Amino acid sequence: MVGLFWLGSAGPSLAGDFLRQPAFRFARPARAALMDVTRAGSRLVAVGERGLIVYSDDGGRTWTQASVPVRTTLTAVCFPEPQTGWAVGHESVVLRTRDRGVTWTKVLDGRQINEEMVRAMQALVEGIRRRMDTAPEEEKAGLQPLLEDAEVNLKGFEETRREGPIQPLLDVAFSSPREGLLVGAFGIIMGTADGGESWTPLLDRISNPMGYHFYGLARTRDRAFLFGEAGGAHRSADGGRHWEAVETPYHGSFFSALADPAGTMVAGFGLRGNLVLSYDDGATWRHQRLGQGAALTGGAVLSGQRFVLVGMAGEIYLGSTLRPGLKPVKTGFPACMAVAEAPDGGLVLVGLKGVYRLEPGSTRNEEMN
């Protein structure tokens, strides 16, 4: 899930303050703006504005605010295992928990990531220049556009470094407790192979010459997928170490993605209700425009070989991870950013007005306190 709305963005001085202040304490944390929700075993964990992280052990009926060391808006959360979780957000902050979301520590922020991205892009530029020095003339002609794009991106990352930690990270995903990816605005992409002890920029592993935003990560049984701005779609066969561009029938922006981790179904969705859906690891795609044309912002794979999508018009759609076909199951909700399945089969939805719960087999929405 991603931060479609970059709540709380600020200039460099305020960004530094947000990274030094603990999360704002909310009187009713389950009614604050929340951007993402996921499962940590039987526990639900949600993240949102001003450093807010909340967790629930009763299927999303009641929530407790966690201890978080930053006050910047958080956009995405994931748990590769029940005990250990990751959250990312504005100012390129990266947080980790080792106690199922009760307490969190800062692992990275925009200052460190800016430095890493500049170094990685400098290395890429120098590598292309070295190749051009010894390449035959016909090969130099093909390398020149790559060099020009890399130099433009290098200038962009250098400018970001001067401005400070102001760019948001927009998604984080792990395929195992050790292997993970994080992505964000203006083409930030980093990977870890050691459980987050170190993170490496992957700029030389993916083509993004315009520096478009990366919004959503998802993983099928055999592939990783990355969706972003201006129809950007990429697929990896090696866990995200290398990426190839994927052509889909839709060329507008994708705001999020989901996939069946045990199968081949993958979906990218976003602007004006547009959805692309594949049941063969991205070899072929179907394009649909759903509902009222409002943005689709979140989704989750459910038990029983099903998945769910939610959006800014309060729409909810159910689909199968085995075959095409979507069914609207609820209208009248407030704007939704993300959704997760509770242990009892209910749906827990989060958005700009907090948490809502949809009971199993019911269309009744229940506001949380």
Q: What is the pLDDT of residues 84-129, one digit of tens each?
A: 999 999 999 999 999 999 999 999 999 999 898 898 889 989 999 9
Question: Do residue 359 and residue 247 come from a single domain?
Answer: yes
Q: Residues 20, 155: one domain? A: no
Is 5 domain-assigned?
A: no
Same structural domain, 52 and 201 = yes
**Residue 295, domain member (yes or no):** yes
Q: Looking at the structure, tell me whether residues 240 and 337 fall in a common domain.
A: yes
- Exposed/middle/buried for residue 245 (C-beta within 10 Å: 0-12, 13-18, 19+): exposed
> Identity (one letter) of the amino acid at 31?
R
Q: 281 and 139 in one domain?
A: no
Please count the structural domains in the chain.
2
- What is the DSSP code string of 283-341? SS-EEEE-TTSPPEEEEEEETTTEEEEEETTS-EEEEESSS--EEEEE-------EEEE
- Sign of the alpha-carbon dihedral angle for 203, 209, 212, 217: negative
Residue type, 350: V
Give domain status of residue 132, yes or no: yes
* 64 sits in which H/E element: strand 64-65
Q: What does the radius of gyration of the chain's CA atoms come to, in whole angstroms?
A: 20
Indicate if 261 and 345 belong to the same structural domain. Answer: yes
278 and 238, same domain (yes or no): yes
Structure tokens at 301: 């794979």
Domain boundary residue, one of 122, 142, 163? 163
Burial of residue 294 (CB within 10 Å: 0-12, 13-18, 19+) is middle
Answer yes or no: is 18 within a domain.
yes
Same domain for 146 and 175, yes or no, is no
| Alpha-carbon distance values, 227 to 124, 133, 270, 276 (Å) | 23, 35, 10, 11
Within a domain: residue 6?
no
33 and 119 share a domain? no
Whether residue 171 is contained in a domain is answered as yes
Question: Quick check: pTM over 0.85?
Answer: yes
**Is 189 contained in some domain?**
yes
Q: pLDDT tens per residue, the chain (369 residues)?
A: 544 544 444 444 455 589 999 999 999 999 999 999 999 999 999 999 999 999 999 999 999 999 999 999 999 999 999 999 999 999 999 999 999 999 999 999 999 998 988 988 899 899 999 989 888 888 888 888 888 888 888 888 888 888 878 889 999 999 999 999 999 999 999 999 999 999 999 988 999 988 899 999 999 999 999 999 999 999 999 999 999 999 999 999 999 999 999 999 999 999 999 999 999 999 999 999 998 789 999 999 999 999 999 999 988 999 999 999 999 987 678 899 999 999 999 999 999 999 999 988 764 455 554
Instruction: Dump pLDDT digits (tens) for 164-197.
Output: 788 899 999 999 999 999 999 999 999 999 999 9
Shared-domain flag, residues 277 and 346 = yes
The reply to whether 157 and 264 lie within a common domain is no
Q: Which domain holds residue 145?
A: 113-163
Q: What share of the chain is helix, strand, coil (3-state, %, to 5)?
A: 20, 35, 40
* Residue 97 and residue 226 in one domain: yes
